[in-house]
Amino acid sequence: MKLLSFTTALLATLTAAHPVFDDLITPFTPLDYKRAPAASLRQISNFGSNPSNAKMYIYVPDNLAASPPIIVAIHYCTGTAQAYYTNSPYARLADQKGFIVIYPESPYSGTCWDVSSHATLTHNGGGNSNSIANMVDYTLKTYNGDATKVFVTGSSSGAMMTNVMAATYPALFAAGIVYSGVPAGCFYSQAGGTNAWNSSCANGQVNGTPQVWAKVVRDMYPGYEGARPKMEIYHGSADTTLNANNYNETIKQWAGVFGFDYLKPDTTQDNVPQSGYTTYTWGKGKLVGVYARGVGHSVPIRGSDDMEFFGL
- Angle in degrees, 0-180, between the axes of helices 90-97 and 303-310, rounded to the nearest 10: 50
The amino acid at residue 299 is: V
Q: What is the DSSP letter of 121?
A: T
Using CA atoms, how far apart are residues 272 and 294, in angstroms rounded to an integer?
Answer: 14
**Among positive and negative, which fits the CA dihedral 181, 184, 194, 136?**
positive
Q: Which helix (H) or strand (E) holds 153?
A: strand 150-155
How many H helices and E strands in the chain? 9, 10
**Do the Cβ atoms of 246 and 201 come closer than 8 Å?**
yes
Angle at 63 between CA 62 and CA 68, to 5 degrees: 110
Q: Is 155 a catalytic residue?
A: no
Using CA atoms, how far apart are residues 299 and 233, in angstroms rounded to an integer?
Answer: 10
Using CA atoms, how far apart are residues 214 and 249, in angstroms rounded to an integer?
Answer: 11
Q: Which of 200, 187, 63, 176 is nearest to 121 (CA)?
A: 187
Angle at 84 between CA 142 and CA 200, to 5 degrees: 110
Neighbours of 195 (CB within 10 A): 24
Using CA atoms, how far apart are residues 5 and 71, in angstroms rounded to an integer?
Answer: 34
The active-site residue, picked from 155, 156, 189, 298, is 156
Burial class (CB within 10 angstroms; exposed 0-12, middle 13-18, buried 19+) of 99: buried
Annotated active-site positions, please? 156
